[in-house]
Amino acid sequence: MPRLARRRRDLAPDWGTPASRQNHGRSPKRASRGRRAPPRRQSARRPARRVRPHTRARDSNATAVLSWFDGDLNPSDRSVQDAGRLSSPRHHEENPMTFIVALFLAVTAVLQSDPVRVAPTSGVAGHYGSWTVTYEIGDAGMVEGGALRVQLPDTWHAGERNSANRLQATDPTGDHYVSTRTSRAGVRLVAEVESESPNFLVKSSRPGLDGRLERYVFVVRVAVASGRLRAGDTVDVIYGDTSSGSRGMRAAIVSTQPEPVLVAVDADGSGAFAPVIHGATLTSRSGIATELRLTGPSALVVDEPATLQLAAVDLYSNEVRPFREEVSLRVSQGNVELPATVHFTDGRGYQAVTFTPRGLGIVRLEAVARAGILRARSNPMEVFGEAPSERVYWGDLHSHTRHSFDGVGDGVHDYARYVSGLDFHAMTDHSQTSADGFTRGLGPEVWDEYQATTDAHNSPGEFVALHAYEASFQSPYGHHNVYFRGTPGPLLAPQRVTLPELWGSLDAGQALTIPHHTGKFPAPIQVADDDPALRRNFEIYSAHGLSEAYDPTHPLAFEQSDFTNYSTSNPEGLTAQRAWASGLTLSTVAASDDHRSHPGQPHWGLAAVTAPALTRAAIFDALHARRTYGTTGARILLDFRVNDEPMGGETTSDGSPRLHVVAHGTDVIDSVQILRYSDPDGGFVVIQDLDPHALDFEWAGPDGDFRDDSIYYLRLTQRGHIRGRAVMAWSSPIWVQRVE
């Protein structure tokens, strides 16, 4: 995403005007006076750093900071869009002169004095350490009662279980402890974390210096409790102070480009905070590689070159940049020509590899590095004699970025394409209304830019980026992701409309809505509220857990997931089996609901779509036609048919329907169960319980007990686990009507 999106929203408070200060920490009495802060004076010793709020900064880092506050920057200005991206090889190649000029200006700016400094300027993802933000007092000094407010980038607070790591100023021995100090003897400072929470993992949202109300926003306030600071004095804010036994602060677990540190100052104690324009940034670097990923097309044509995607990620699934180790490639199954070794280029953590299948059948490949410590097996790829009319494509239909109130990160489409090796992806940030003058999540002020980013990453035939967003309705509707075939429709917030009203704004055949994690909340959900032209699919699994049926003991149940805070399966939730039994004709998909701009994780859910081409229209039409199935993230090839009707279809039978299964696993397939629903009193029953114990499996047979209209679907379980989770796949149902 261009950094312009981080600029102050239209609804953000203007700290320099009393009417819109939003009472930032002032007492009601002081807030009611509406005193205007005196103009802030720049130090006479730093004339070169005088930057007005609407003056473009001279270097990329300063531009990145300025874009948080300046609402008038032009989003088409490449110098703004590329702020903080001096390390992008692709950008260098596209516009080398821009890079040279930006580098010169950046070096010049570094040599000049800056009122804000950060040391160190980076950290390794997930590693503990200490970081100090230093502010140099300006000519006006800072009186007793004056204060400084500091906000690190959101990503630096992202923790486990989709929560924020608690930032605190009360326990010097605990993690994420913040302290302060000053160079001026005799002056006492007091540091506090605004809206500090006692919980180690924080779910609540807090207001930020940039006008946002979001989960990963933490503002540290340092006040002068006694004494007075003079021009040139410094105030340090130490994040992760270890002097009293704390192990420090955990660095961002999401790797990032340089991100601005926000600072605002109230020098005269009036309660009005003015933003400080500066060039200080923080960068999170990936750790060492702990995993290789190797993905390829599910369908190949003999003697036609194809592309493998090879990637290296760290413990937190960050792309490892640069990855310098040699990787060996091997053929595990099939007849393939491919290079024996691969070296990553351009300082990236991913590499495209060309290979050519020379024989029909199933192909499986393997990548090995670091003397066998790093290993990856490819997904099974089927080789055809000629181009098939339809192919299986893989995608993550549900992921979040910093545009969600509970998300962080950028570069989500590139991650989906190059690191996870997906064929299609949908960025589905929460549509939200503003709250108390603060923006929260995806709002209309960035909707146009959001669409432009998606369009920029859509490449027909290579990678599909779908227009989408999430509308998180509460009971009785549930959370729904909204998808568009082409041009997006309106961005509607669930606080303003009902689900039927949302459906009323969408065009049948041009939009879809898919319900999400309905097995746990919100509950109850009314199945009577339905629009079969717009709701055609069901998210049966995500990182949250499984919504197939109510079963708290299942290894993939919500109770077993560490994705978010502890969750429980809800007996009143809407499961897939309940939806089908109630008459809803929905196909299955799975998706991650990732909130760190890391879609396509191998254990959090993927959708398989059978389509004639890799285009927006073809992928959307296949979703609409219910030509889908879902997996926990493994790219298992699955074909289930009844009387030759494919998954998601409807057919008739006057006798015993013929069932047919073909499956190719990423590991040994231990169990294949075929379930049938025909008796409302009996529910879904297993009519075939098969134990293949093989990588590849085919079975066919009749259902001799077919007596009435029935629903059939299949679930498959592999032997091994991925990141501690069972590996499964679920077919879409096939609806069979009995005829005489």
**Do the beta carbons of residue 321 and residue 85 sit within 8 Å?**
no
pLDDT of residue 20: 32
Instruction: State the Cα–Cα distance between residues 498 and 488, nearest whole angstrom.
Output: 19
Domain count, the chain: 4
| pLDDT band, residue 75 (cuts 50/70/90) | very low
The verdict on 566 and 692 lying in the same domain is no
- The DSSP code for 32 is H
Distance of CA 654 to the CA centre of its chain: 48
The verdict on 9 and 121 lying in the same domain is yes
Which domain covers residue 320, as residue numbers?
291-388
In this prediction, what percent of the chain has a pLDDT beyond 70? 85
Is pLDDT larger for residue 24 or for residue 162?
162
Instruction: State the Cα–Cα distance between residues 440 and 494, nearest whole angstrom.
Output: 13
Q: What is the CATH number of the domain that holds 577?
A: 3.20.20.140
In this prediction, what percent of the chain has a pLDDT beyond 90? 76
Instruction: Read off the tokens for 254.
Output: 């999401």
pLDDT of residue 205: 86
| pLDDT band, residue 563 (cuts 50/70/90) | confident
pLDDT of residue 95: 53
| pLDDT band, residue 112 (cuts 50/70/90) | low
DSSP string, 166-234: PPBSS-TTSTTBEEEEESSTT-EEEEEETT--SSSEE---EE-TTSBEETT--EEEEEEEES-BPTT-E
Instruction: Read off the tokens for 163.
Output: 């929560």
Of 598, 633, 668, which closes a domain? 633
The verdict on 667 and 568 lying in the same domain is no
The 10 Å CB-count burial string (b at 16+, else e) for 2-35 is bbbbbbbbebbbbbbebeebbebbbeeeebeeee
Q: Is the pLDDT of residue 691 over 80?
A: yes
CB neighbours of residue 656 within 10 Å: 13
**Do the beta carbons of residue 590 and residue 540 sit within 8 Å?**
yes
The verdict on 342 and 399 lying in the same domain is no
The verdict on 381 and 451 lying in the same domain is no
| pLDDT band, residue 98 (cuts 50/70/90) | low
The verdict on 438 and 505 lying in the same domain is yes
Q: Is the pLDDT of residue 110 over 70?
A: no
Q: Is the pLDDT of residue 70 over 60?
A: no
The closest alpha carbon to 272, from 589, 10, 33, belongs to 33
**Do the beta carbons of residue 156 and residue 270 sit within 8 Å?**
no
pLDDT tens for residues 571-627? 999 999 999 999 999 999 999 999 999 999 999 999 999 999 999 999 999 999 999
Mean local confidence (pLDDT), 713-725: 98
The verdict on 441 and 578 lying in the same domain is yes
Q: Is the pLDDT of residue 553 over 80?
A: yes
pLDDT of residue 717: 99
Q: Is the pLDDT of residue 396 over 60?
A: yes
pLDDT of residue 38: 40
pLDDT tens for residues 299-327? 999 999 999 999 999 999 999 999 999 99
Mean local confidence (pLDDT), 210-217: 88
pLDDT of residue 36: 38
pLDDT tens for residues 266-275? 999 999 999 9
The verdict on 113 and 78 lying in the same domain is yes
Of 257, 285, 313, which closes a domain? 285
Mean local confidence (pLDDT), 219-234: 98
Q: Is the pLDDT of residue 35 over 60?
A: no
The verdict on 143 and 281 lying in the same domain is yes
pLDDT tens for residues 8-17? 333 333 333 3
DSSP string, 486-543: SS------TTT--HHHHHHHS-BTTEEEEE-STTTSS----TTS--TTT--EEEEEET
Alpha carbon dihedral 444, 447, 449, 453, in 10-degree steps, equals 160
pLDDT of residue 83: 32
Alpha carbon dihedral 418, 422, 424, 428, in 10-degree steps, equals -80
pLDDT of residue 725: 97
Beta bridge partners of 16: none
The verdict on 497 and 539 lying in the same domain is yes
Query: Mean of the per-residue pLDDT values for the chain?
Result: 87
Beta bridge partners of 430: 470
Q: What is the CATH number of the domain that holds 715?
A: 2.60.40.10
The verdict on 486 and 576 lying in the same domain is yes
Of 285, 314, 332, which closes a domain? 285
pLDDT of residue 503: 96
Q: Is the pLDDT of residue 388 over 80?
A: yes
The verdict on 70 and 197 lying in the same domain is yes
pLDDT tens for residues 637-687? 999 999 999 999 999 999 999 999 999 999 999 999 999 999 999 999 999
